[in-house]
Amino acid sequence: MTWGDKGDLIPFESAMHRMGFRDDELKGKGFAQFEAKTKEQKAAVGLAQRYAAGELSRPGLFLCGSAGRGKTHLARAIAEARLIRGLGFRYKRIQDLVADCKLRMQRDSTETPESHVQWFCDFPGLLILDEIGRTSASEWLRDSVMYPLVDQRKGKPTIFISNYDLDQLAEKYDEAITSRLQLCTVMMFNSNMEDYRKR
């Protein structure tokens, strides 16, 4: 159990779901369930635990690399550790944020992507932004969503998750975006690490 927005006790998984995680991302995704067998996996867990405990000097964390290596699992474990300590977070996939921006513009002609991104980024707690680079790299996405997103979260507690490394994202977007991601602590998940989805 944990405390809800109105001071009421709510089930822990309900709280995680309320913060943006899907049901299939809730079960068995804490630090205890991350099977770290290799040196690289143990290093990844150790760094994620240090971030969750607030022991890293940089407020940003960039988890990047091959799919299925446990990036979102570790981000979820960090979120769980924060929630247990009474600290808030918000989780969002980049394609869902883009869809929210477009929907708001359809409903209100005065709404802009930048205003929605600003509202989203004003969240004072940890933001977890998943699947960076998955959406098509249009000029609109780069200028109206991605750049304001990484710029406004600079210096704030944020976890960025991507299947692309910094060089690939620079080709997809531009160096103005990746230069801000470089301000984060960067954790690479290489292709030689075990793919958890193929177990």
The residues spanned by each domain of the chain are: 2-198
Mean pLDDT within 84-101: 86
pTM: predicted TM-score of the whole model, two decimal places: 0.83
Query: Of the candidates 180, 157, 141, which has an alpha carbon nearest to the alpha carbon of residue 88?
Result: 157
The tokens of 117 are what? 């991104």
Span 2-198: which CATH code? 3.40.50.300
Exposure letters 72-91 (e unless 16+ CB within 10 A, then b): bbbbbbbbbbbbeeeeebbb
User: Which are the contacts of 95, defined by CB distance < 8 A and separation ≥ 6?
Assistant: 131, 134, 135
Mean pLDDT within 117-128: 89
**C-beta neighbour count of 196 within 10 angstroms:** 14
Q: Give the chain's mean pLDDT.
A: 82
According to the model, what pLDDT value does residue 20 have?
55
According to the model, what pLDDT value does residue 127 have?
92
Q: Is the pLDDT of residue 29 over 90?
A: no
Query: Of the candidates 87, 89, 93, which has an alpha carbon nearest to the alpha carbon of residue 149?
Result: 93
The tokens of 57 are what? 């000097």
According to the model, what pLDDT value does residue 82 have?
83
Q: Is the pLDDT of residue 94 over 60?
A: yes
Mean pLDDT within 37-58: 91
Name the least confident of 84-98, 152-166, 171-185. 84-98
The band of 8, judged by pLDDT with boundaries at 50, 70 and 90, is very low
Residue bearing the bigger pLDDT, 198 or 1 = 198
Mean pLDDT within 20-47: 76
According to the model, what pLDDT value does residue 111 have?
78
According to the model, what pLDDT value does residue 27 have?
55
One-letter amino acid identity for 68?
Answer: G
Q: What distance in Å separates the CA atoms of residue 138 and residue 144, rounded to the nearest whole number? A: 10
The band of 21, judged by pLDDT with boundaries at 50, 70 and 90, is low
According to the model, what pLDDT value does residue 125 have?
87
Q: What is the DSSP string of 123-160?
A: -SSEEEEE-TT-S---HHIIIIIIHHHHHHTTTS-EEE
